[in-house]
Chain A
Amino acid sequence: MTLLTELRPVSRLAEAEAAERSSDNETPGAKPATGAAGTPKPIPIVVISTLTVAVILGLWSLASAHELVSPVFLPSPHQVVIATYNLIVTGFVDATLFEHVGASLYRIFGALIASILIGIPAGLAVGTSRIGRGILDPVVEFLRPLPPLAYLPLIIIWIGIGETSKITVIALAMLPSIILSTSAGVRSVSRDHVNAARSLGATPRQVLVQVVLPSAVPSILTGVRIALGAGWTTLVAAELVAATSGIGFMIQSAAQFLVTDVVIAGIVVIALIAILLEYVARLIERRLVPWASHR
């Protein structure tokens, strides 16, 4: 037992490193590759994934080359690339691809800022006060399971079809996960951490700001990541209903004129941006709370 406790800090580091490695390599418990000795190295997951994408693209090319499906419905990958190029250079429905993406990103980040400004204080209230919890719990629980598109029409009736209504809908979709992750983070604060601060002379307010809030940051960031995902989904849907720009609007317009290559290009762009956002969020997380994996 003594041995185990001695090794604890070291093994924690090792675990974290192993987790890191396993995300882009094979399982942490796998045997080390034995170079020249004979046993073949297992194929890295990256290679398998790349192959999968290549096969899908290949099948797609074959299907469109042999016109298994009408090109109106399934343009070739080549056509989609050309469409993407044209989107970037000349654009579609009065705006280039970057202008559409810019309009969408403006909405999503506007909504993100709004939902963080409201969600974190609300989450603190839920996590630290009985009254706050009593007040906000029903609101959050009502909002959380609702598909945003269900209240989109109502928001449009109330606020109109401008930017505000879209940002409001996206922010509402983001709010529950930010509130819930903040309150979960607040509640998970270590009792020793709080007691240490109190015994070192902290006022309740200082405990909240200096101990509880920093403790909750990893959880809040996870919430923001989930919120970004939810917001992105809602954004595209909201733009399908009422918008004059944005990537969702672009797809919707293209679909009405059966410009399938633009539809597919739009879908790919949406996916790529979502992946990029997730990646940036993870990067920020690693920068901001490097200690989260060492608790």
Chain B
Amino acid sequence: MSVLSFRDVSLRYPPRAGLRAANDDRFVLNGINLQVASHELIAIIGRSGSGKTSLLNLAAGFIAPTSGTIAVDDVPIQGPGADRAVVFQDDALYPWLNARDNVAFPLKLNGVSRAARHERAQQLLELVGLGDAGERHIWELSGGMRQRVGIARALAAEPRFLLLDEPLGALDALTRSRMQELLLRVQHRSGAGAVLITHSIDEALILASRVLVLSPHPGRLTAEIEAGFSAEVLAGTPTEKIKASPSFKRLHDALTSLIHSLPNEAAA
């Protein structure tokens, strides 16, 4: 059982010459407090420009916070690490490797033998339903297949947390809803905690046990909503049915009006 935590985290652009130092507008994120435990999947939603991706980049360790601490089990993170594997919106797979070698990439970094990493990669490909695509080139795969390879690659690192940066954002609606279910099952099975960045309220409600709303300028977490639908999805209830239920609609409407009431980026 691990916990990824943000404590009073803020992030601002470095002061530019000619601008006065204490300018609140340049805070991308301010006063972020957040805890994510193993096994749980939380979603962070907000409009573009609200700092969602910055928040994920902080968690990944790609950028350092201006103030506050980000820690895994109370140990402050010192940059990127395999305990927090990222799945990118733009897949970020390596085109010079085939699908299987992409999945095996983290194992190769750890010096796992060729035979062992091929076997493990094959298992993971099967887990995401791509058991017979291992030899294929990345550019021969569809968008949905690429994201599944990306998820398998992240899992190969055996992370304690999966950081999902709109991984399904570029997919068509049909593929997307199928991928949501797959993502949820795979994450549940791996036991890793997950932070999902998304701009889709539907997706957040279906997948996450908690939905956090990020309001822009500066980015703050303004609301937190408990959603229990992911348990139903895992139990096998079709997502269409869940989305049609009154309780889902109620939460969906509440979140929609909440997000619309927030100042948008043009106002800032």
Q: Mark B93-125, 1 if CB is under 8 A from A, else 0.
A: 011100000000110111000000000000000
Q: How far is the CB of A188 from chain B (nearest CB, A)?
A: 13
A200–B92 alpha-carbon span in the complex (Å):
12
* Contact indicator A201/B106 (Cβ below 8 Å): yes
Provide the B74-106 mask, 1 if CB < 8 A to any CB of A, else 0.
Answer: 000001111011101010101110000000011
Question: When A and B form their complex, which 6 residue pairs have the shortest distance between CB atoms, in order from nearest?
Answer: A201-B82, A294-B139, A291-B95, A198-B80, A192-B92, A200-B106
CB of B157 within 8 A of CB of A291, answer no
**Are B88 and A201 in contact, with the CB atoms below 8 A?**
no
The 14 sampled A-B contact pairs (Cβ below 8 Å) are A2-B172, A9-B139, A190-B92, A195-B80, A195-B92, A198-B80, A199-B61, A199-B84, A199-B85, A200-B106, A200-B153, A200-B154, A289-B96, A291-B138
Chain B residues engaging chain A, CB cutoff 8 angstroms: 60-62, 79-82, 84-86, 88, 90, 92, 94-96, 105-106, 108-110, 137-139, 141-143, 153-154, 156-157, 163, 170, 172-173
Taking a contact as CB atoms under 8 Å apart, the answer to whether A200 and B139 are in contact is no
Give CA–CA (A203, B81) in the complex, Å.
9
Binding site for B on A (CB under 8 A): 2, 5-6, 8-9, 12-13, 190, 192-193, 195-203, 206, 210-211, 214-215, 217, 289-291, 294-295
Majority secondary structure, B binding face:
loop
Verify A214–B96 contact, CB threshold 8 A. Answer: yes
| In the complex, chain A residues whose CB is within 8 Å of the CB of B156 | 200
Q: Is the CB of A200 within 8 A of B105?
A: yes
Which residues of B have CB within 8 Å of A198?
Answer: 61-62, 79-80
Which one of B62, B82, B90, B96 lies within 8 Å of A200 (CB-CB)?
Answer: B82
A206 to B105, CA, bound (A): 11
B80 / chain A contacts, CB cutoff of 8 Å = 195, 198-199
Cβ-defined partner of A210 (8 Å) among B90, B105, B143: B105
B254 to chain A, nearest CB (A): 27
Residues in B with CB closer than 8 Å to A192 are 88, 90, 92
Contacts of A291 in B (CB 8 A): 95-96, 137-139
The chain B residue with its CB closest to the CB of A6 is B172
Interface contact A195-B60, CB-CB below 8 Å: yes
Contacts of A13 in B (CB 8 A): 139
Which of B85, B96, B143 interacts with A9 by CB under 8 Å? B143
CA distance A211 to B156 in the complex (A): 17
Tell me which residues across on chain B come within 8 A of A289, comparing CB atoms: 96
Distance in Å from the Cβ of B162 to the closest Cβ of chain A? 10
Q: Check if A196 sits within 8 Å of B81, measured CB to CB.
A: no
Once the chains bind, are B137 and A290 in contact (CB under 8 Å)? yes
Given contacts A192-B92, A195-B60, A289-B96, 5 further A-B contacts (CB under 8 A): A9-B142, A196-B153, A197-B105, A199-B81, A200-B154
Q: How far is the CB of A286 from chain B (nearest CB, A)?
A: 14
